[in-house]
Structure 1
Amino acid sequence: MTVLIDPPNWPGPRGLMWSHLVSDRSLDELHAFAVRLGVPTRAFDRDHYDVPETVHARAVELGAEAVSSRELLRRLVEAGLRRRKQHRPR
C-alpha cells in the first residue's frame, strides 16, 4: 500500500489547515484507506481527498507516508493518476 499525505498547509473550512491524501497505486487503494481513516466520500476531489489537520497524525499511524506537497504531486503524476480540473469554455 502506498498512500501519501502532504503537510496541512492549505487553509480551508472551519479555520483549519488541510492536507491532500492520495495513492500512487490506485484509486481503489485510496478509497479503501479513506474508509479506514473515516474520511467522508464528499472529501474526494478527482484524484485526492482533502483532509483536515486533525486527521493527519492518524493517517500516518494507519500507514500513510508523510511527504512534501511537491513529492506527493510528483508521485501522483508518475503513477498516471493525476486528474486535472476541466476548464469550461466561456
Structure 2
Amino acid sequence: EIARALEEDRAEAIVLGCAGMADLAAELQRQFGVPVIEGVGAAVKQAEALIALGLSTSKRGAYANPLAKPYLGALKSFAPGTVAAE
C-alpha cells in the first residue's frame, strides 16, 4: 500500500493507521525513503510540546455541551442516574 500511495497518489509521507505498526515505522522509512509517521508517538510528542509551551484546553466555554444520548441495550444500566452508574 505504501508503494501504491507513493506511485499513484504521489504521497510525500506515510501515516501508519495502527499502533500495532509502531515498530515498523523506522524500517519502512528506510525502505521507502519518505517520512513514516507513527500515530501514538506523534500524539505523545504533540502532548509534550503543548505542555512545554504551557498550553491547555480553552476555559472560555465556547464549545457546546454534547447532546444527550440514550443508553440502549447492554449499556442501559450505565445511564446517568441509574444505580449501576453511581
TM-score (norm 2): 0.23
Q: Which has the larger radius of gyration?
A: 2
Flag the structure with higher helix content: 2
Larger RCO of the pair (alpha carbons < 8 Å, separation 6+): 1
